[in-house]
Amino acid sequence: MEPLAWGAILATVLRLFLPVWIALIATYALSIAFKRRLGLYGKLFDSTVGMIGFGFVMFWVFTALFAPMIETRDVLSQISQMKNVVPGTPIPDGSGHYLFGGDNLGRDVFSRMVAGSRIVIQIAPLATMFAFMVGVTLGLPAGYYGGFFDTGLSFLANLVLAFPVILLFYLLVTPEIVQTGLPQYIAVVLFILPLLFLLLLINSRYYVTPGFRNIVIAAVLVIGGWAYLSLVSEADTKIAVLPQALDLIHVPANILIVFVSVVFVNAPTVFRIVRGIVLDIKTRDYVSAAQTRGERPWYIMLWEILPNARGPLIVDFCLRIGYTTILLGTLGFFGLGLSPESPDWGSTINAGRKLLTIAPWPALVPAIALMSLVLGLNLLADGLREESLKD
Amino acid sequence: MLKFLIRRLAAMIFTALCITFVVFYLTNLPPNLEKVAKSEAGSRISDEEVQSWLEKNGHAQPLLKRYGEWLGVVPGWTRTDEAGAVTGRCIRPKTDPAEAPHYCGILQGDWGFSTVFREDVSKIIATRLGLTGLLMFWVMVTMVPLSLLIGVLAGMREGSRLDRTLSTFSIASTATPEYVSGVILIVVFASKLVGLQWFKGSANSAMDGLTFENFALPVATIVLYGTGYIARMTRASMTEVMTAQYIRTARLKGVSFASVVVKHALRNALIAPFTVIMLQFPWLLNGVVIVETLFNYKGFGWTLVSAAGNNDIQLLLGCSVVAVLVVLVTQLISDIGYVFLNPRIRIS
């Protein structure tokens, strides 16, 4: 087979991404058609910047979703003749081309980039969500009650924030630390807070209808409790509380530690933001009205203050997913946590950087992918901020 | 003011103690110490031999005592073996035990001995910090004026085309972490592929002699990521100032726009960015670690990475102390500076 020229590479890549284009067009058509009925999400389509950002983000979300359809090669299969080849080189057995070239082990850079999007899209939003639930659950009472509780938590948050991030990663994400089970202990503490958040949310809402409340709380407790125990307990480690048969969520130790450390780094900042907003909102009239009505503190915090703090929190959420993506890339760049075989973008950049001046493709492709995702998230946040300020 | 200073200082020292204790605990976990024992006394030694090596070298004591010794507030351990020879934490090999000091820790200036570089930690850190200081200096010299200029230009006429262009640039800059911009810069300016080859893709030679050719890319990489954030903060502060009453008054009096910006707005608009720039230091530390690894510039960040990678406990502890101090001191300076710059804030 003939090597492909730049135009042909571009055409092939565009064709491979066909499912993504279809999904993107469908999303945009539906969203724009119904944008007046979709609240803040619909208003996003009034802002050009927000629409561009949303496009970038959704491109990678759909790529992650359709990754098995887009990949042309297995991400780990190596062909020794294809080491560091230029983009568009045909595979010797005639089964296609290496569209974005080959890396130093002769693997397909294009397929690895596509597969890498899966890891990022799976971990980054989820980790950010956990960080938010931890930050909100602790930040609301800290801002609302103040006092000793607030002082203590703020001190702890400042303590974590004063840690240089890379040092923290190097200390937490090492095989020795994983051996001691410390990340799992942190997971035990961090992951109970989202469960607590859900329970408080439901309890404060349905407190006046105890029958219904008890059923819902019991259901959440059983499902959430099982998910929590299943998440933190892992066979043959320090924490193996659930029997094997019930332990259905298996998170490999190295992924769990990456997840935990990213949540750990992000949660204090969210805590500070939430605390600051609560300090501002709790002086408003509607909070005093609720207090006079005799509402309980958690109802006021979760159903009066939190909904009114959603604007800045949603914007920060988008920005923070981008920041988490950068952190994940940093971890990969230093070879921490994820296995060196893993196709995630940070690890691929790390593997490719040694030969940068001779064969730039293996590092350049994931670098641009990561940049476009983070740029998309930042633009999306900017668009959201602009639109939410218009209210 | 004095009371505020003392309170802040006390909080800072307490924070520093807490953080160093956590770092000490994490670096001195049993598996780490076991690895040190194996690398010092031979990799094939049995578990009992590991244990006896740890006891001989004072690693088997309670954690708090070891932390105290390392800090220099608890007397260093001493030990007399069967032959009557005295060894101890503060006793250097081939010196008289009687003359050795009782305390030897960070506070006494004894930072320990690096097991990888075979040199005193304080010496290593001093040289490496010098190299990083040079990098930081050039980064600051480029980044601060550039980002302030972008922020002020973007913020003086909110919503104008200039504002939109510069704001987009700032967003793009914050979305490009160092390991991405570094890779792109090397490919564009240093690889055979593009063919420009204006600069060198490695800053290794910059440690002996600094030239524009070998230092431009590392500096540019850090500057690119940091600029966006400071520029956005400056822009936000500038737009706020530009809507203030006294700016309108000045305009109505007939003062020219350029004069309003330079004489009236700028001074007040630069208070917030000052804090941001100070708080940017810890961030730069991150960038420095990445850039020094990417460009193979053997400064502080590179040392931190190699210490962590090689389980060099004493060196890693030393690096952490420096890193944490940098963070805390910049926080303190930004707090105090903010109070000085902004007359609206009163400390009671």
Radius of gyration of chain B (CA): 26
For residue A236, the model assigns a pLDDT of 66
Residue B46 Ramachandran class (φ > 0 left, ψ -120 to 50 alpha, else beta): beta
**Above 80 in pLDDT, residue B62?**
yes
Q: What is the DSSP letter of B210?
A: -
Please write the tens of the pLDDT for every residue from A167-186. 888 888 877 777 777 878 88
CA A112/CA A314 separation, integer angstroms:
31
Given a cut of 80, is residue B302 above it in pLDDT?
A: yes
d(CA B151, CA B170): 9
Q: What distance lies between CA B285 and its chain's CA centroid?
A: 3
Give how far the C-alpha of residue A158 lies from the chain's centroid of Cα atoms, to the nearest Å: 23
Given a contact cutoff of 8 angstroms between Cβ atoms, the answer to whether A219 and A240 are in contact is no
**Closest approach of A326 to chain B, Cα-based (Å):** 7
Structure tokens at B226: 């940091």
CB contact under 8 A, B290 and A167: no
Residues of A in contact with B285 (CB under 8 A): 164, 166
Q: Which residue has the higher pLDDT, B109 or A137?
A: A137
Q: Return the number of CB contacts < 8 Å for A and B.
A: 128
A367 in B contact zone (CB under 8 Å) = yes
DSSP alpha helix (H) spans, chain B: 2-27, 30-41, 47-56, 63-71, 121-156, 161-174, 178-190, 212-242, 245-253, 257-259, 266-269, 271-294, 300-309, 313-341
Over residues B276-280, mean pLDDT: 76
pLDDT digits (tens, 9 = 90+) for A276-299: 899 988 889 999 999 999 888 999
- Average pLDDT for A65-90: 83
Neighboring chain A residues of B304 at a CB cutoff of 8 Å:
166-167, 170
A48 at B interface, C-beta within 8 A: no
* Residue A305, amino acid: I
Supply angle C-alpha B38, B42, B43, rounded to 5.
Answer: 60
Look at B179 and A329 and tell me if their CB atoms are within 8 Å.
yes
Which token pair is A340? 């060196």
Nearest CA distance, B252 vs chain A (angstrom) = 29
Q: Which residues have a Cβ under 8 Å from the Cβ of A244 and sit 6 or more positions away?
A: A235
ipTM for the predicted complex comes to 0.86
Q: Which residues of A touch B190 (CB under 8 A)?
A: 356-357
Which pTM value belongs to this model?
Answer: 0.89
Backbone φ and ψ of A89, nearest 5°: -70, 130
Residue B84 scores a pLDDT above 80: no
What pLDDT score was predicted for residue A73?
A: 82
Distances (CA, A) of B137 to B129, B131, B224, B291, B294: 12, 10, 15, 15, 19
- Nearest chain A residue to B173 by CA distance is A375
Euclidean distance between CA atoms A239 and A232, whole angstroms: 7
pLDDT of residue A56: 94
The answer to whether residue A159 neighbours chain B at the CB level (below 8 Å) is yes
Q: Say if the Cβ atoms of A166 and B304 lie within 8 Å.
A: yes
Give the residue from B264, B262, B263, B276 showing the smallest Cα distance to B234: B276
| Minimal CA separation from B260 to chain A, in Å | 27
**What is the structure's pLDDT at A300?**
92
A185 and chain B in contact, CB less than 8 A: no
* A171 contact residues in B (CB cutoff 8 A): 23, 26-27, 308
- B115 CB neighbour count, 10 Å cutoff: 16
DSSP B232-282: HHHHHHHHHHHTSHHHHHHHHHT--HHHIIIIIIHHHHTHHHHHHHHHHHH
Q: Measured between alpha carbons, how far is A354 from A369 in angstroms, rounded to an integer? A: 19
b/e burial code for range A48-64 (CB count within 10 A of at least 16 → b): ebbbbbbebbbbbbbbb
pLDDT of residue B345: 63
Cβ partners under 8 Å of residue B124, min gap 6 = B114, B117, B303, B315, B318
Helix (H, G, I), strand (E, B) or coil at A73: coil
Stated length of chain A: 391
Alpha-carbon torsion angle A355, A63, B224, B257, nearest 10: 160
pLDDT band for position A102 (cuts 50, 70, 90): confident
- Our CA-based measurement puts residue B99 at a distance from the nearest CA of chain A, in whole angstroms, of 37
Using DSSP bridges, classify how beta strands B86-88 and B78-80 pair: parallel, antiparallel or unpaired: antiparallel
Residue B316 with chain A: CB contacts under 8 Å: 170
Answer whether B202's CB lies under 8 Å from B295's CB: yes
Which of left, alpha, beta for A88 (phi over 0: left; psi -120 to 50: alpha)?
A: left
Rg, Å, chain A Cα set? 24
Residues facing residue A89 across a β-bridge: A98
> Given A162, A174, A371, which is nearest B324 (Cβ)?
A162
Q: Which of A16-30, A233-247, B41-55 has the lowest mean pLDDT?
A: A233-247
Kindly list the residues from chain A whose CB atom is less than 8 angstroms away from the CB atom of residue B25.
none
pLDDT tens digits, one per residue of A155-171? 899 888 888 888 888 88
Contact A367 B32 (CB under 8 A): no
Instruction: Return the percentage of chain A with pLDDT > 90, whole number.
Output: 34
Angstrom distance (rounded) from CA A323 to CA A165: 12
Residues of chain A contacting residue B184, judged by C-beta atoms under 8 Å apart: 364, 367-368
Average pLDDT over residues A349-355: 85
Contact flag B331-A162 (C-beta cutoff 8 Å): yes
Mark yes or no for CB contact A163/B171 under 8 Å.
no
* Residues ≥6 apart with Cβ < 8 Å to A51: A28, A44, A45, A383
All residues of chain B having their beta carbon less than 8 Å from the beta carbon of residue A353 are 179, 183, 294
Position B77 scores a pLDDT of 77
What is the per-residue pLDDT for A39?
80
Query: Is the pLDDT reported for residue B348 higher than 60?
Result: no
Torsions phi, psi for A149 (to 5 deg): -55, -45
Among B15, B184, B305, the residue with its CB nearest the CB of A159 is B15
Count of beta carbons in the 10 Å neighbourhood of residue B335: 17
Separation in Å, CA of B27 to nearest CA in chain A? 7
Handedness of CA A93, A99, A103, A108 (dihedral sign): negative
- Condensed to tens digits (0 to 9), the pLDDT of residues B321-344 reads 888 888 888 888 888 877 777 766
Residue A22 is predicted with a pLDDT of: 93
Residues of B in contact with A172 (CB under 8 A): 26
Q: Which two tokens stand for residue B12?
A: 């800072």
Residue A146 pLDDT level (bands cut at 50, 70, 90): confident
Residue of A nearest to B11 (CA): A155
Instruction: Note whether B286 contacts A334, CB cutoff 8 Å.
Output: no
A169 Cα to chain B: minimum distance (Å): 10
Interface membership of A353 toward B (CB under 8 Å): yes
Q: Residue A380: closest CA among chain B residues belongs to which residue?
A: B171
pLDDT at A270: 92
Helix axes A310-333 and A109-145, enclosed angle (nearest 10): 130
The span from the CA of B119 to the CA of A366, in Å, is: 39
Please report the pLDDT score of residue B265 as a whole number. Answer: 87
